[in-house]
């Protein structure tokens, strides 16, 4: 069904309108709650700014006041809201992706599932990109194998930082330096976690998201949820950088169904050039 929207062509299909000028869907009033809920869930209930960033890249004409009201009524956000204490962190300078990687292990022994008792959490200090994996134990061999998998995909960092004790770090060094002799591993004492602040704050987010998931699901299979949580964190805007970690690393946004709508608009306007599915991107559609 076709009509007009401010003198522009639009397509009405089920629960959204599509304005050709903005090239983003316009959500109807009846489905406003549903679409905000989808975006809020996609970013893992991580607050107003991340939800707004996700919505602004998918839809047009959704006021931020509506998002604030929605989050204020979100049961999961209200029930698990935390008030962190202000901490002065030791500043660390990174000049590029994989310059410095920080790792930490999250203790999940109280909710052990299928033999997995720990969460391996690594974060690139420059891009804020995170990696999450379940581990059966915190032995150095398990950590080293997980790091190898990351290094073979993204390359090794110049500096690897950990606070898991000197004996642990020594075993990891012995294993990793066989393949990467130039890798520098720094050990920070557990009683001085300030320099590990980035990944420690990331742990709080991971635990918060896992807690919300465990509250709303009847299973304790938290290892299977680490993938979606990792994707939510990496595709949500970070406070200290404007783009998402995913965009910093891969120089594009993840694929979404917005591309389908861009094809429809291009067909309606008889425009032979179809924009890629991301804003301000020069990539070719796949």
What confidence tens digit (pLDDT) does each residue in 92-140 have? 566 799 999 998 888 899 889 999 999 999 999 999 999 999 999 988 8
Enclosing domain of residue 144:
100-266
Q: CA 124 to CA 131: how far, in whole Å?
A: 9
Is position 248 within any domain?
yes
- Total residue length of the chain: 286
- Are residue 226 and residue 118 in the same domain, yes or no? yes
- List the CATH number of the domain containing 62: 1.10.340.70
So what's the pLDDT on residue 35? 87
Q: Which of 75-84, 103-112, 126-135, 189-198 has the lowest mean pLDDT?
A: 189-198
Inter-residue contact 125 to 99 (CB < 8 Å): yes
Residue 89 has pLDDT above 50, yes or no: no
| Phi–psi pair at 243, nearest 5 degrees | -75, 175
- Convert the pLDDT of each residue in 213-264 to its tens digit: 777 877 889 999 999 889 988 988 876 667 889 999 999 888 766 655 565 5
Is position 236 within any domain?
yes
So what's the pLDDT on residue 57? 82
Looking at 48, 80, 112, the residue that finishes a domain is: 80
Residue 3 has pLDDT above 50, yes or no: no
The DSSP-derived string for 42-72 is HTTS--HHHHHHHHHTT-BS--HHHHHHHHH
- Are residue 120 and residue 210 in the same domain, yes or no? yes
- Are residue 120 and residue 242 in the same domain, yes or no? yes
- Are residue 72 and residue 148 in the same domain, yes or no? no
Mean pLDDT of 33-50: 84
Q: How many CB atoms lie within 10 A of CB 275?
A: 18
């Amino acid at each position: 069904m076709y009509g007009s929207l401010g003198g522009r062509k639009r397509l009405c299909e089920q629960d959204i309108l599509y304005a050709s000028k903005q090239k983003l869907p316009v959500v109807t009033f009846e489905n406003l709650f549903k679409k905000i809920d989808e975006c809020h869930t996609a970013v893992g209930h991580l607050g107003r700014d991340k939800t707004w960033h996700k919505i602004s890249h998918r839809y047009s004409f959704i006021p931020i006041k509506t998002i604030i009201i929605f989050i204020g009524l979100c049961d999961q956000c209200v029930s698990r809201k935390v008030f962190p204490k202000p901490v002065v962190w030791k500043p660390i300078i990174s000049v590029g992706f994989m310059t410095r990687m920080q790792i930490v292990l999250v203790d999940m022994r109280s909710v052990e599932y299928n033999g997995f008792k720990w969460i391996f959490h690594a974060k690139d200090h420059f891009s804020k990109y995170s990696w999450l994996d379940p581990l059966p134990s915190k032995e150095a061999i398990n950590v080293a194998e997980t790091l190898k998998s990351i290094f073979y995909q993204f390359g090794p960092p110049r500096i690897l930082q950990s606070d898991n004790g000197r004996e642990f770090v020594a075993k990891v060094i012995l294993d990793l330096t066989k393949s990467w002799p130039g890798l520098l591993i720094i050990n920070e004492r557990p009683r001085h976690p300030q320099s590990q602040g980035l990944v420690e704050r990331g742990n709080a987010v991971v635990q918060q998201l896992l807690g919300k998931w465990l509250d709303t699901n009847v299973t304790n299979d938290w290892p299977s949820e680490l993938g979606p949580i990792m994707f939510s964190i990496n595709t949500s805007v970070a406070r200290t950088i404007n783009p998402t970690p995913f965009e910093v690393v891969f120089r594009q946004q993840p694929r979404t169904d917005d591309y389908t709508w861009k094809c429809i608009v291009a067909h309606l306007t008889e425009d032979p050039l179809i924009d890629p599915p991301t804003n301000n991107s020069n990539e070719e559609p796949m």
